[in-house]
Structure 1
Amino acid sequence: MLTARSPSAPIGVFDSGVGGLSVLRHIRAQYPNEHLIYFADSGHAPYGDKSEQYVVERALAVTEFLLSHGAKALVVACNTATVAAIKAVRARHPELPVVGVEPGLKPAAAATRNGKVGVLATARTLKGDKFLALREQISAATHAEFLLQPAVGLVDEIEKGDLQAPAIHAMLEQYVAPLLDQGADTLVLGCTHYPFVQDGIARVLHAHGRDDVTLIDTGDAVARQLGRLLEAAGLLRPELKPDATLRGYTTGAADAFALAFVQLLALRVAVEKVDV
């Protein structure tokens, strides 16, 4: 069995559901020869309306599962879990390369032209101490104004898989329009689910005559940071190996998760339901 410190071991990626697949696609694109395991904790989703302690417990349980399957590194591909639990994960496993995701406030502050940045995220992310500290830090350094908008229920709708559903369009209008009304010229997609409805957001922007609004998705930056940590630890898998594998696990319905791989990434992946 491969050890967790072997370059040939897999990278573990997890989210409360399918949203982290938006990060996974960047990882696959940048490191196509790496073995990957994706864990969707759909049986316990969404995290956004759970207590911080609950999210911490789930993150630690999923981390243990991924380590038991040989993971050499961990990507917490969930904004809510990063805000609530990444400190606890790193404390429990200080030897493990761990990358989290957080709303792209810094690149948004650099991109904005009028200093007003809308942040679309779950309520749990926007209330987290880590996020609030980041907001204060970036705001003080750049004088950008961050307009916070919790998108209640949007993750649940995206999880259903029909990205063109009227309910999703109605929610995007409900949550994006107020940010535009306040003058935001940059919009942070503060949840890994949201890049999958980027086309829907673009339609809302167009309907309001705001095609000039910049959208910030941090998936690419997360993948690059993962690569830096793996290289520093000597854990990058040797190149020119075309046999990279991708496995899926979920605490929800395996067939629904397998369908999500097809719908969102055009991939057919073997998925196993587990009790974690």
Structure 2
Amino acid sequence: MNAAPLGVFDSGVGGISVLREIRRLLPREDLVYYADSGHCPYGGKTREQIQARAVAITEFLMARGAKLIVVACNTATIAAVEHLRATYPIPFVGMEPAVKPAVAQTRSGVVGVLATGAALAGDKFHKLVADHARDVRIITQPCPGLVEQVEAGLLDAPETRALVERYTAPLLQQGADVMVLGCTHYPFLRPLIQDVTGKGVSLIDTGAAVARQAQRLLEREGLASDAERVGCIEWHSSGDAAQLERLRPLLMGET
């Protein structure tokens, strides 16, 4: 199993922001990435629909030999990760918005959370806030349309900026000095969001923390690769494979 790959999936290309962190931390591991772009976005789907997609993709990744699967999607984690852990014999790593580090970092006592509506509505998110918010005010902001802009590769288009300005304005008006990027698509918009909010606002995502958790699980289970080489990445999409191929160098930061 040490030579088996890690599986990573998302509703689309957003999970590549997590894949980059895994690649940086675990360069010897082979990776299989599945972009469910044919069913993106997940934000407007029911829990049952998202869970069905997560099960189908998990079975695909396990057929490719995955020894561990990263659910690189906040919405899919909320809807499906507990079911996946109870159903399949391999470890799963999920996502959650970085509320805890945001609370520790804020100076104004106000934290904004940018996410999909489905992620913000889940019991898992409400428990996260209840456990960690303490005396900090958490303001949530659904961001319909941003996922689609990233899927199209429109990272700095005028329409994307207009959406970012619309969604960050209420958070800035209420004094948020930390904003949580609560969807794996949003780190690709970090330069644009930072330009809109100004450098006085800190932006936090959990990609690096998820990579560290994957590393811990691999080491704990004795599954880490001992290959003396850089691992390969295998790419799959339920949508337009040519679009994934066009976006891959941009999102991976490759030339």
**SS in structure 2 at match of 1:74:** strand
Q: d(CA) in 1 for partners of 2:229 and 2:221?
A: 20
Q: For residue 53 of structure 1, what is the aligned residue in structure 2?
A: 48
Q: For residue 90 of structure 2, what is the aligned residue in structure 1?
A: 96
Post-superposition offset of 1:266:
4.0
Q: For residue 119 of structure 1, what is the aligned residue in structure 2?
A: 113
Q: Is the 8 A contact 2:3 2:227 kept in 1?
A: no
Instruction: Show the 5 A alignment for 1:177-196.
Output: 177-196=169-188
* Corresponding residue to 2:122 among 112, 125, 128: 128
Q: d(CA) in 2 for partners of 1:72 and 1:113?
A: 41
Q: For residue 145 of structure 2, what is the aligned residue in structure 1?
A: 153
* Corresponding residue to 2:204 among 178, 199, 216: 216
Post-superposition offset of 1:97:
1.1
Q: For residue 194 of structure 2, what is the aligned residue in structure 1?
A: 202
User: May I ask how many residue pairs the two structures share in their alignment?
Assistant: 255
Q: d(CA) in 1 for partners of 2:106 and 2:254?
A: 35
* Corresponding residue to 2:8 among 4, 13, 30: 13
**SS in structure 1 at match of 2:236:** strand
Is 1:238 aligned with 2:226? yes
Q: d(CA) in 2 for partners of 1:92 and 1:267?
A: 37
Q: d(CA) in 2 for partners of 1:100 and 1:143?
A: 27
Q: d(CA) in 1 for partners of 2:78 and 2:100?
A: 16
- For 1:29, the aligned partner's letter is R
**SS in structure 1 at match of 2:234:** strand
* Corresponding residue to 1:163 among 151, 155, 158: 155
Name the % identity: 50
Tell me how large the CA RMSD over aligned residues is: 1.1
Give every structure 1 segment of 4 or more consecutive aligned residues whose post-TM-superposition deviation is greater than 4 Å: none
1:9-56 deviations in whole A, cap 9, x for unaligned?
A: 000000000000000000000000100000000111100111111001
Post-superposition offset of 1:267:
4.6
Post-superposition offset of 1:239:
4.9
Is 1:256 aligned with 2:243? yes
Could you tell me which runs of 5 or more consecutive residues in structure 2 were left unpaired when the two chains were aligned: none
* Corresponding residue to 1:172 among 129, 144, 164: 164
TM-score of the superposed pair, with normalisation by structure 1:
0.90
- For 2:75, the aligned partner's letter is T
**SS in structure 2 at match of 1:169:** helix
